Amino acid sequence: MEKKKYNFPEVKLGQYKGLAITRHVRPVTEKTLDIEMVHQTRMHATYRPTQEPAKRGCRALLDFAGYMDGKEIPDSRMEKVMVVLGDGKLMPAAEQAIYGHRAGETFRFDFTYPAEFRVPELSGKTAQFEINLRSVAEKHTPELTEEFAKSIGYDSLAAMRESIRAQKQKIHEEGADRAAGQRLLEMAGANIEVHIAPETLDRTADNEMKLLGERLSRSGLTVEQHCKNSHTTPEALRQRYRDEAESRARVMLAARAIAEAEQIVVHPEEVNAEYRRLAALQETPEAEIRKVLTEDAVAAALAAKKVQRFLLDHAEVTSVTDSAEKE
């Protein structure tokens, strides 16, 4: 099936090179480094088997089954379940029952189902759950010492700290580039001459208002009440949605026009690499990502990034490091 070709409006580019912008870089504070150093020790924590009573933070391996009227509740049995006590993944009643017990113990506790449980035949009834506590392991976090730094590949604690500083600085510099590039693209979009159909913007604004109303209704609110709480009016909110729609359209059209003017292209292998990156990032099969994101959408996003980089390379940039208070 041949893809339907969309006819974009004609765009006349305004100024997009030599735009002046202030590029804001977040500082890497000593407090940030202190937190990250401690975080590194937590990342390298280990669990060691213990015969001490289970407590919050311990890792437990257990079997679990529910009984009612002397019979096992269908589908209630789970075996070799690994949980960290206190992380909220086990129902509170079960977690409380485990505290104080040791590895190798089997015990029961009562649990009363809510009056409106998803399984009607269990609603409001009390069941007995049996837990076989196979093992308990206590968390051991290494101390932040020279030995620890060397054990994870650094020459010293000082070297570890400077390496983390460099990593954080790189992340902050890249973030500053992205923010500045996006702002430059918005500026370029504001400078283009283009006719965007008013009905398109009106339709987008109306749809945003409709979606907002649906979201608010689930909380028992109306758009009018929301606007009153936000010190605005439905008319002003709709206009904001309309302005945002126009800004997004201008950014998209400017990116396309600049890419064409400067011969900025995205190759198929770059699109495929981006699919792989997104799949790894989201821990989702690439095929699933492709179902959600079309190749055209991925290519357009990559092209916009390249255009942002181009604009940044051809802008009058003043870089400043923000104050630590903004951290």
Domain boundary among 92, 119, 140: 140
pLDDT given for residue 72 in this prediction = 93
pLDDT given for residue 122 in this prediction = 86
Pair 83, 130 in one domain:
yes
Pair 128, 193 in one domain:
no
Pair 180, 315 in one domain:
yes
Pair 319, 214 in one domain:
yes
Q: Strand runs (DSSP E) across the chain, as ranges?
A: 11-12, 20-25, 46-49, 59-68, 71-72, 78-84, 106-112, 126-140, 193-194, 316-321
Tell me, yes or no, whether 214 lies in a domain: yes
Tell me, yes or no, whether 60 lies in a domain: yes
Pair 199, 58 in one domain:
no
Tell me, yes or no, whether 212 lies in a domain: yes
Tell me, yes or no, whether 185 lies in a domain: yes
Tell me, yes or no, whether 34 lies in a domain: no
Q: What's 125's domain CATH number?
A: 3.10.50.40
Pair 196, 256 in one domain:
yes
Pair 179, 58 in one domain:
no
- Domain limits for position 77: 46-140
Tell me, yes or no, whether 154 lies in a domain: no
Tokens of 179: 């923010």
Domain boundary among 123, 140, 157: 140
Pair 204, 307 in one domain:
yes
Tokens of 310: 């181009």
* Confidence (pTM): 0.77
**Rounded to whole angstroms, how far apart are CA atoms 58 and 60?**
6
Domain boundary among 90, 113, 140: 140
Pair 65, 191 in one domain:
no
Tell me, yes or no, whether 194 lies in a domain: yes
Pair 180, 244 in one domain:
yes
pLDDT given for residue 323 in this prediction = 82
Pair 199, 300 in one domain:
yes
Pair 71, 106 in one domain:
yes
Tell me, yes or no, whether 16 lies in a domain: yes
**Structure confidence by residue, pLDDT tens digits, 256-310:** 999 999 999 999 999 999 999 999 999 999 999 999 999 999 999 999 999 999 9
113-131 burial, b if ≥16 CB within 10 A, otherwise e? Answer: beeeeeeeebeeeebebbb
Tokens of 270: 């770059």
178, exposed or middle or buried, with CB in 10 Å at 0-12, 13-18, 19+?
middle
pLDDT given for residue 54 in this prediction = 97
Of the candidates 271, 272, 275, the residue with the CA atom closest to the CA atom of residue 306: 271
Q: What's 273's domain CATH number?
A: 1.10.3120.10
Q: What is the pLDDT along the chain (327 residues), one digit of tens a residue?
A: 455 566 889 999 999 999 999 999 999 999 999 999 999 999 999 999 999 999 999 999 999 999 998 899 988 999 999 999 999 888 899 999 999 999 999 999 999 988 888 888 888 999 999 999 999 999 999 999 999 999 999 999 999 999 999 999 999 999 999 999 999 999 999 999 999 999 999 999 999 999 999 999 998 999 999 999 999 999 999 999 999 999 999 999 999 999 999 999 999 999 999 999 999 999 999 999 999 999 999 999 999 999 999 999 999 999 999 887 555
Domain count, the chain: 2
3-state secondary structure of 320: strand
Yes or no: say if 243 and 232 are a contact pair by the CB < 8 Å rule.
Answer: no
